[in-house]
Chains A and B, each alone.
Chain A
């Protein structure tokens, strides 16, 4: 009898905790918070004010402020949505091409990652595997268009390889010392690569290498993965008390070859921009 009572108390308390955690950490963030924040449109000085436009040829404002349209045909709606998505992407690409920096084009339709500058493709890599969070993939709405309306700008990057590696050398005192310090150059050893890039508007890009990492590389990569998981666990635990869980960052994960991952990471500037085609 006593046993039964204990069982019912424990089961009831645990059920309440599970339901509370489910609502607090999973359902509420998903139902009440938008994982795809709207892009703030950059207006350049050469752009005409919106009201003065008679013939709209490349207006970003107009691209995204169009009312949501529902026609009679589902196909027509889908076609229009695809066209507008393409328009938004091209507009972002043009905006980046006008800048003096390298940028990343992630084409999830043709499965390629492209390093570009001034509209010129500098390096192209085949994406061997990719996955997109449901919070991005499942939206075929204005929210997605508004989210993609501007290039994504990197806020923070974390990688298992250094971005720039300098070797320090003390100047020799004389020619004898200079001759002694001469070292035959050798190709640098590439470490295993795992890159986490957090962009604005809540987007995370994870780049992994297709090659199997060595023992040391595996340890470093796993440590990095754990670090990010711990952050999420801490956020979930805190939300149980504070009731403020944000949805996890929408994530795009790609797998490319190790050499390409190194090239992209080293070539991109400190605050690179990225556009996504999907």
Chain B
């Protein structure tokens, strides 16, 4: 009988010690997962708050505010629509090397692969030349058919060739840009390529290279002043 009593007491002792262990665990969990505890507390708090009531107004008052709000919304929507391009435009995705040609309503009329900047830094002595496609909104400044490429200095540096004089004939290349070129400023263009197999890969020095058929459609869809979005 006494042994049984002793056993019972020792069991009770063990059970009793679960309480401080539990308290310690709660403390540790609270420190480890404070944001979760706080988030739950915010939920509880919201049961007592909800929509704040500061003053009583009539239903007519609410209607008046509604009308004003709706009028503001219509006005802003109109302003937003006015910002959108009025001509067909092109969107170039430099991460996936894809383009999407859209009409003035924003509907996609053609998509396809293209090549954009290879994100390379060419180190020539103290010079560091960066080959990347700029991002942002650009405008087609001019369109040219069979435009020759006037090779800049980096084209020679990259090929290990001596840099010729500015007016040297060796700078003129009649094949590289393809049938059409659309200039978007700072020497960047949307043009054709001899390396059609690289379309879809980042291989250019900053320009956007397009396949022959795509370029043909883009050239005849976009006009001077059309927007070019590159991201």
Contacts and interface: CB of A to CB of B under 8 A. Distances in A.
B13 A120 contact: no
Interface string A63-101: 100111111110011111101101100110110011011
B39 interface: yes
A100 B136 contact: yes
A62 to B, nearest CB: 8
A102 B124 CA distance: 33
B53 A118 contact: no
B115 to A, nearest CB: 9
A83 B66 contact: yes
Interface in A95-113: 97-98, 100-102
Nearest to B35: A248
A10 to B, nearest CB: 5
A25 B34 contact: yes
B34 A171 contact: no
Given A17-B27, A25-B31, A121-B106, A57 B75 contact: yes
Contact of A83 (B70, B75, B96): B70
Contact of A120 (B19, B32, B72, B84): B84
Given A18-B26, A236-B34, A248-B35, A134 B42 contact: yes
Contact of A133 (B42, B65, B80, B119): B42
Interface in A241-263: 245, 247-248, 251, 259, 262-263
A115 interface: yes
B87 interface: no
B71 A166 contact: no
Interface string B65-78: 11011111101110
Interface in A165-189: 165-178, 185-188
B95 A185 contact: no
A21 B72 contact: no
Contact of B13 (A3, A70, A267): A3
Contacts of B227: 118, 120
B231 A139 contact: no
| Size category, A interface | 35 or more
Contact of B65 (A10, A66, A247): A66
Contacts of A225: none
B11 interface: no
B230 to A, nearest CB: 9
A15 interface: yes
B11 to A, nearest CB: 13
A146 to B, nearest CB: 12
A167 B118 CA distance: 8
A138 B49 CA distance: 9
Interface in A1-56: 3, 7, 10-11, 14-15, 17-18, 21-22, 25-27, 29-31, 35, 56
A134 B39 contact: yes
A266 B221 CA distance: 29
Given A79-B66, A122-B231, A263-B93, A73 B72 contact: no
A80 B65 contact: yes
Given A30-B45, A58-B72, A98-B83, A77 B51 contact: yes
18 contacts: A26-B41, A69-B55, A69-B62, A70-B56, A71-B61, A86-B73, A87-B73, A90-B73, A91-B76, A118-B137, A138-B43, A138-B49, A141-B52, A165-B119, A169-B120, A186-B201, A248-B35, A263-B231
Interface of B: 13, 16-17, 19-20, 23-24, 26-27, 30-32, 34-35, 37-43, 45-46, 49-59, 61-63, 65-66, 68-73, 75-77, 79-81, 83-85, 89, 91, 93-96, 106, 118-125, 130, 132, 135-137, 157-161, 198, 200-203, 227, 229, 231
Given A117-B136, A269-B135, 11 more contacts: A18-B27, A67-B54, A71-B58, A79-B66, A93-B80, A118-B227, A119-B81, A133-B42, A166-B120, A168-B123, A171-B125
